[in-house]
Amino acid sequence: MLKNTQTLSYNNFTHTVYGLRYAFRLTGREDRAIQLPSIKKLRKLPVILSAQEIKTLLCSPKLLKHRILLASIYSAGLRLCEVSGLKQSDICFDRNTIHIRQSKYKKDRLVPLSSYLKKGLLKYYEACCPRDYVFNGRDGHGPLSHRAIQQVFRETVKRSSIHKKVTLHSLRHSYATHLLEYGIDLISIQKLLGHAHISTTIEYLHVAQFKESKRISPLDILYNQV
């Protein structure tokens, strides 16, 4: 009834149902909890930006800081919280790695530092002199807030005239999909993204576009190798 009569987002509805279930269990009303509606997860394919759209997007911001910010998210497949909390000490220019610390699932991971991003970061450091964090907020000391990062992305999308319904997370989706299209295996992509389960990574198979390869029979390969 609540879902059918109220204008609720999927997340709000989910939190309401789980909250009620928990409350009923605490008060010994398991019978009421069972009667609550089941929650069916909505499955939507992620929106992916093409390689040309990514290029257009990364060239659109006026400020160098914003160009490097968005390039960092795409080049390493970063989540919003990860790019916000990224510190200069997490980037190793000698080993060309980015250390993502205690992100989702409280796990660390290492991702490659793009050579292009490396040049951009060094140029940005020299021009903007950030402190501690890679991207500082207005006070010049703390990290750039989640809201500010999302605002940068929204304004950039408007400036670039991209009409797809994209969010900041679309850069991470595009990163994973493009790696898959370039021939990187799913296990490697799972580790780069920090996914707990391979089933989450497999979803990108539904949106990746592969060049049609030559059709062959494994029997021919079997006997040609002898």
Cα separation, 192 vs 97, in Å, equals 12
98, 91 contact by CB (below 8 A): yes
Confidence of residue 148 (pLDDT cuts 50, 70, 90): very high
Mean predicted confidence (pLDDT) in 141-170: 95
Tokens describing residue 147 = 């809201």
- DSSP, collapsed to helix, strand or coil, labels residue 13 as helix
Record the tokens describing residue 101, joined without a space: 């610390």
Q: What is the pLDDT of residues 1-46, one digit of tens each?
A: 444 555 555 556 666 766 766 676 667 665 555 555 555 666 788 9
Average pLDDT (158-168) is 94
Q: Tokens for 153, please give them.
A: 């992305």
- Output the six-digit token pair for 216: 């062959």
pLDDT in tens, 36-84: 555 566 678 899 999 999 999 999 999 999 999 999 999 999 999 999 9
pLDDT at 134: 98
**Residue 224 pLDDT:** 77
Rg (CA), the chain: 22
CATH 3.30.1330.60, domain 51-178, yes or no: no
pLDDT at 89: 97
Residues classed as catalytic: 79, 104, 169, 172, 195, 204
Report, as an integer, the average pLDDT of 75-94. 97
56: Cα separation from own chain's centroid = 19
Give pLDDT, residue 10: 58
Give Cα separations from 153 to 61, 66, 149, 150 (angstroms).
9, 9, 6, 5
Predicted local distance difference test score (pLDDT) of residue 76: 97
pLDDT band of 216, cuts 50, 70, 90? confident
What is the distance between the alpha carbons of residues 75 and 87, in angstroms, rounded to a whole number?
A: 16
**How far is the C-alpha of 121 from the C-alpha of 123, rounded, in Å?**
5
Domain boundaries, the chain: 2-34, 51-178
